[in-house]
Amino acid sequence: EAGVTQFPSHSVIEKGQTVTLRCDPISGHDNLYWYRRVMGKEIKFLLHFVKESKQDESGMPNNRFLAERTGGTYSTLKVQPAELEDSGVYFCASSQWGLGVNEQYFGPGTRLTVT
């Protein structure tokens, strides 16, 4: 079974540009999460999809970030326009839907560098 995949693995952009990150969850996983880790800091929650619906987007830093999950399959996270403080590793994770806590499976992350 394929794991969570993310694309690209690394992106270097200039301040003010736009970047779109993509996450393909494990097939059949209804829950999809986005996280970000700034170097040396904690892994921070950004948002949670259940199928195509945003369940919780309380962690989104500001309106420069837009996440979508059309059709309840893959998800994209767009940053427009990018700022220096957006640099970090963006992780996507997915889990099955059900009562209680379900194990989250993380992708390898996208390292975003804004210069």
Partner 1 sequence: QQQVKQSPQSLIVQKGGISIINCAYENTAFDYFPWYQQFPGKGPALLIAIRPDVSEKKEGRFTISFNKSAKQFSLHIMDSQPGDSATYFCAAHYTGNQFYFGTGTSLTVIP
- For residue 72, report the phi and psi dihedrals to the nearest 5 degrees: 70, 20
- Give yes or no for a contact between 49 and 31, defined as CB atoms under 8 angstroms apart: yes
Q: How far, in Å, CA of 102 to CA of 87, rounded?
A: 29
| Residue 108 interacting with partner 1 (CB under 8 A) | yes
44-49 contact pairs (CB < 8 A, 24+): 46/77, 46/90, 49/75
Shortest separation between residue 5's beta carbon and partner 1, angstroms: 10
| Residue 1 interacting with partner 1 (CB under 8 A) | no
Strand, helix or coil for residue 94: strand
Size of residue set near partner 1 by CB under 8 A: 25
| Residue 7 interacting with partner 1 (CB under 8 A) | no
Which of 28, 70, 98, 101: binder of partner 1 (CB under 8 A)? 101
Which of 50, 52, 59, 74: binder of partner 1 (CB under 8 A)? 59
| Residue 45 interacting with partner 1 (CB under 8 A) | yes
Q: Applying CB under 8 A, which part among 13-21, 51-59, 65-73, 78-86 lies near partner 1?
A: 51-59
